[in-house]
Structure 1
Amino acid sequence: MQDKARILQLAQHIFPTEARNYAKSRGWEPVAVKGRLWVFRHSNKQRLRQLIIPKDQEDDAYAEAIFEVIQRIADDEKRSPLSVASDLLMPNSDILRFRVTGEDAMTGTLLLEDAYSLFEGAKRAILSAACSVVNKTAHHLRMSRSEAEEMLKACKLGQTEYGSFVAKIACPLDAVETDIPLFDNDTPFVRKATTLLASACCMIVESIENDTVEPLMKKNSQSPIITSNLCDALIRMHGTRDKRKIGLDITWASNPSIPIPDVPNRVVFKSEYFRIIDQIGKSLRPKNEADYPQELLGTVETLNGDVGEDGRRSGEVILSLLLPDEGAVRAKVMLGAEEYADAVKAHEKGRSYIMVKGVLYRDIRIAYIKDIECFKLVDPGHPQ
């Protein structure tokens, strides 16, 4: 009953023309105009369905009529009525739902750190796809193209949904204006980006399920669609729980002048796929990326060392590295007693910066730094 009340509330704000445009874009056929009503039909193997959409939003019975329209669309698309209603309120946006399913997400909640990783991964997936629209490459060293940033700034965050935890992101089709010759048709930049994202995700899953990862990588090397950046984003979304699935559901904008793309709008990454996704991502990175030491700035998050025979503590430290265009990346490092003492000082001071020089390696859960040449506290007034 609460859901119905909420849907009726939303239904009152859905424009008649937007309900009509959505129906047409999903294959419902207009069959008649009866007075102040539009009538559509949709046939499948089981039954013939009808939609009756009133033209006058101010009618007392409008919300109930649109509620019935929403119910029938939801039944046809095997989605929740509440999801359909909320999508009808954003008709000019492609709606991306990055969905976490697992025992810990059934109540619509996640650990704060896991939720942050989901949203950060979703952001990076969008940026990766947007950059790939303009520059087809297997690895984007920087994801700071103006078109990608402009698209990201226009994206809006929606509410999560029951039975899972969902990062719902609305991508307005008119978010990016460009005069680049690449865009020589009427397909908006944003639609190109969301279509590329859907295609790349489907290609990854299909190659894993069909055991065709190697042929896909050869094909991808000639015309890159899948990037290391996307793989990193998916791994980040997966978080720390081994039995968790990540799904991507897309509701395409119902703009009548922009056709629905011929790509699947739903894909699921099972938990066991992420080890392979990590391998794919590593294969797409430049081969010499980890071959040389780098100066890395960060903070000390966790001290896991042990006291030795000399009474001094040394061992594992978890850092949060601040990498350009990547934000915070967790990394493990093994420190001797002197460097460990500096790590303790940084941790005790609270968010003090450290600088470590070494070779950074990536892994599916956490990065790690080897061949340490330098580890020291950084003057708080000069973090660079």
Structure 2
Amino acid sequence: MEQLIRAIETDSLDRLVESVKAESAPLISSNLCEALNQFYDESLENGLDVSFEWSVSEPVAIKDSLKRPLRFQQDYFGRIEEVRRELRDSEGHTTDTFIGTVERLSGEMGEDGKRAGEVILNLLIQGESIRAKAILSSDQYYEADRAHMTEGAYIQVRGKLQPGRQPRQMSELSQFKLIAPG
């Protein structure tokens, strides 16, 4: 956050965005920028002060401790939104195989007498639970229904997971199968 403030104050946001895009594990992300912007209320034209309190049982190096709160002035939030948009565009789409559960079925009956359509999945990604929306074919929907109705069942799905707010959009599904318990 300190880097973000410094870049705004020195008018070097382009340089900051480029360095963040080049990092393999950046500290600044579109999600952080979005979270900061959610603290801003346009009708109040408020700023935001962020401070951290550290546990006395865990010593913190002096270089890592803040002497004063980080201050996001009211006029910083528009610039933070610009950074968020630029980083969101660069985060791209993730094509991978995911494991998860089926949380909601919202398909419709097709002309062939089989259900197909939208489902909400709960995908397990790096220890986090991410909700995703997908449109399934009738065969995939059948597997989703079985997974939804079977206690302890999971699904394995391969597709492109779009960045953004949850439920995130999942497209280009190339695999969708039930992983039965036991």
Which TM bucket (shorter chain)? 0.5 to 0.7
Closer, same or farther in 2 for the Cα pair 1:203/1:310, shift >3 Å? farther
Alpha-carbon distance between aligned partners in 2 of 1:301 and 1:342, rounded to the nearest angstrom = 13
Closer, same or farther in 2 for the Cα pair 1:276/1:251, shift >3 Å? closer
Alpha-carbon distance between aligned partners in 1 of 2:32 and 2:174, rounded to the nearest angstrom = 32
Alpha-carbon distance between aligned partners in 1 of 2:103 and 2:124, rounded to the nearest angstrom = 13
Q: Aligned pair 1:295/2:90, yes or no?
A: no
Structure 1 counterpart of 2:153: 352
Structure 2 counterpart of 1:234: 32
Task: Provide the secondary structure at the position in 1 that maps to 2:139.
Answer: helix
CA distances 1:303-333 after superposition (whole Å, capped 9, x unpaired): 2222222232211111111112x51111121
Letter in 2 for 1:266: R
Give the TM-score taking structure 2 as reference length.
Answer: 0.66
RMSD: 4.1
CA distances 1:224-252 after superposition (whole Å, capped 9, x unpaired): 5982x6426537858xxxx9427562145
% same residue: 26
Q: 1:277 aligns with which of 78, 81, 84?
A: 84
Structure 1 counterpart of 2:181: 380
Structure 1 counterpart of 2:72: 267
Q: CA deviation at 1:370?
A: 2.0
Q: CA deviation at 1:280?
A: 1.0
Alpha-carbon distance between aligned partners in 2 of 1:313 and 1:211, rounded to the nearest angstrom = 54
Alpha-carbon distance between aligned partners in 1 of 2:113 and 2:66, rounded to the nearest angstrom = 65
Q: Kindly indicate whether structure 1 or structure 2 has the higher relative contact order, using CA contacts under 8 Å at least 6 residues apart.
A: 2
Q: CA deviation at 1:367?
A: 2.6
Query: Is the CA contact (8 Å cut-off) linking 1:306 and 1:313 kept in structure 2?
Result: yes
Closer, same or farther in 2 for the Cα pair 1:220/1:355, shift >3 Å? closer
Alpha-carbon distance between aligned partners in 1 of 2:114 and 2:78, rounded to the nearest angstrom = 41
Alpha-carbon distance between aligned partners in 2 of 1:339 and 1:310, rounded to the nearest angstrom = 15
Closer, same or farther in 2 for the Cα pair 1:377/1:323, shift >3 Å? same
Query: Is the CA contact (8 Å cut-off) linking 2:160 and 2:171 kept in structure 1?
Result: yes
Q: 2:137 aligns with which of 305, 322, 336?
A: 336
CA distances 1:22-47 after superposition (whole Å, capped 9, x unpaired): xxxxxxxxxxxxxxxxxxxxxxxxxx
Letter in 1 for 2:134: V
Q: Aligned pair 1:307/2:113, yes or no?
A: no
Closer, same or farther in 2 for the Cα pair 1:337/1:380, shift >3 Å? same
CA distances 1:353-381 after superposition (whole Å, capped 9, x unpaired): 00011222222444322221111110223
Structure 1 counterpart of 2:18: 218
Larger helix fraction of residues: 1
Q: 1:245 aligns with which of 39, 44, 49?
A: 39
Structure 2 counterpart of 1:199: 2
Give the TM-score taking structure 1 as reference length.
Answer: 0.35
Structure 1 or 2, whichever has the larger Rg, is 1
Alpha-carbon distance between aligned partners in 1 of 2:146 and 2:34, rounded to the nearest angstrom = 29
Letter in 2 for 1:314: A
Letter in 1 for 2:70: N
CA distances 1:50-86 after superposition (whole Å, capped 9, x unpaired): xxxxxxxxxxxxxxxxxxxxxxxxxxxxxxxxxxxxx
Letter in 1 for 2:140: E
Alpha-carbon distance between aligned partners in 1 of 2:101 and 2:85, rounded to the nearest angstrom = 25
Structure 2 counterpart of 1:362: 163
Alpha-carbon distance between aligned partners in 2 of 1:201 and 1:249, rounded to the nearest angstrom = 13
Task: Provide the secondary structure at the position in 1 that maps to 2:14.
Answer: helix
Task: Provide the secondary structure at the position in 2 that maps to 1:344.
Answer: helix
Alpha-carbon distance between aligned partners in 1 of 2:130 and 2:169, rounded to the nearest angstrom = 10
Matched positions, count: 168
Query: Is the CA contact (8 Å cut-off) linking 2:123 and 2:130 kept in structure 1?
Result: yes
